[in-house]
A and B are shown apart, each in its own frame.
Chain A
Amino acid sequence: MNVIECKELSKVYGNTNAIEDLSFTIEENKITGLIGRNGAGKTTLLKILAGYLHKSTGEVNVLTEDPFNSLKVSSNMIFIDDQMTLPESLTLLEILHSAKMFYKNWDMDLALRLFRYFSFHDNQLHGSLSKGMRSTFNAIVGLSARCKLTILDEPTTGMDSSVRKDFYRALLKEYIDHPRTIIISSHLLNEIEDLLEDVLLIKEGNLLLHKSVDELKEMAIGLKGKSNVIKEIIQGKEVFYRNTVGKDTTYVAVENSFPNELLQRAKENGIEISSVPTDDLCVYLTNRTKGGIDDVFNRN
Chain B
Amino acid sequence: MGAFIPLMIILIIVITSYTFVKQSNSRTKKFIYGQRLRWMLSSYVIVLLLGGVTFFILPVQDFPETSVVSEVEDRVTNEAFIDNFYDSAFEGKIDEVDGVVVSKHLEFPFEEEELFLENVTSDYGGIMMIVEKKEGVASEIIATHYSTGLYIQGEDFTEKLSSTEITLSNHTLTVIPPEQTEIRIADFGREFTIAQFAEKDGSDLSTTASLSVQRMGHDIIYVIVPEQVEVTSTSGNIHFINDETYVD
Contact = CB atoms under 8 A, between A and B. Distances in A.
Q: Do chains A and B touch in the complex (CB under 8 A)?
A: yes
Interface of A: 83, 85, 87-91, 94, 123, 125, 127-129
Interface in B28-48: 28-30, 33-34, 37
Contact of B23 (A88, A94, A128): A88
Nearest to B28: A127
A121 to B, nearest CB: 12
A87 B23 contact: yes
The CB with the most chain B CB atoms within 10 A, among A87, A94, A127, is that of: A127
B27 A89 contact: no
A125 B23 contact: no
20 contacts: A83-B25, A85-B23, A85-B25, A87-B23, A88-B22, A88-B30, A88-B33, A89-B33, A90-B33, A91-B33, A94-B34, A123-B34, A125-B30, A125-B33, A127-B25, A127-B26, A127-B28, A128-B28, A128-B30, A129-B27
The CB with the most chain B CB atoms within 10 A, among A88, A91, A123, A125, is that of: A88
A128 B27 contact: yes
A255 to B, nearest CB: 45
A80 to B, nearest CB: 15
Nearest to A91: B34
Interface residues of B, number: 12
B26 A89 contact: no
B29 A128 contact: yes
B37 A89 contact: yes
Nearest to A87: B23
Nearest to B22: A88
A129 B37 CA distance: 20
A83 B30 CA distance: 20
A90 B26 CA distance: 15
B27 A127 contact: yes
Contacts of A125: 29-30, 33
A83 B26 CA distance: 12
A85 B26 CA distance: 11
Contacts of A87: 23
A90 B22 contact: no
A129 B28 CA distance: 10
A123 B35 CA distance: 10
Contacts of B28: 127-128
A285 B24 CA distance: 38
Contacts of A89: 30, 33-34, 37
A5 B170 CA distance: 118
A90 B27 CA distance: 14
A89 B41 CA distance: 14
A88 B32 CA distance: 11
Contacts of A83: 25
A256 to B, nearest CB: 46
Contacts of B27: 127-129
A94 B38 CA distance: 13
A123 B29 CA distance: 12
Contacts of A90: 33-34
Interface string B4-33: 000000000000000000111111111001
Nearest to B25: A127
A91 B29 CA distance: 12
Contacts of B22: 88
A128 B28 CA distance: 6
A286 B25 CA distance: 32
The CB with the most chain A CB atoms within 10 A, among B26, B30, B33, is that of: B33
A85 B24 CA distance: 8
The CB with the most chain A CB atoms within 10 A, among B23, B25, B28, B29, is that of: B25
A142 to B, nearest CB: 18
The CB with the most chain A CB atoms within 10 A, among B29, B30, B34, is that of: B34
B182 to A, nearest CB: 50
Contacts of B30: 88-89, 125, 127-128
B17 to A, nearest CB: 14
B21 to A, nearest CB: 11
Q: In the A-B complex, list the 8 residue pairs whose CB atoms are closest, starting with the nearest.
A: A89-B33, A91-B34, A128-B27, A88-B23, A127-B25, A127-B27, A128-B29, A125-B30
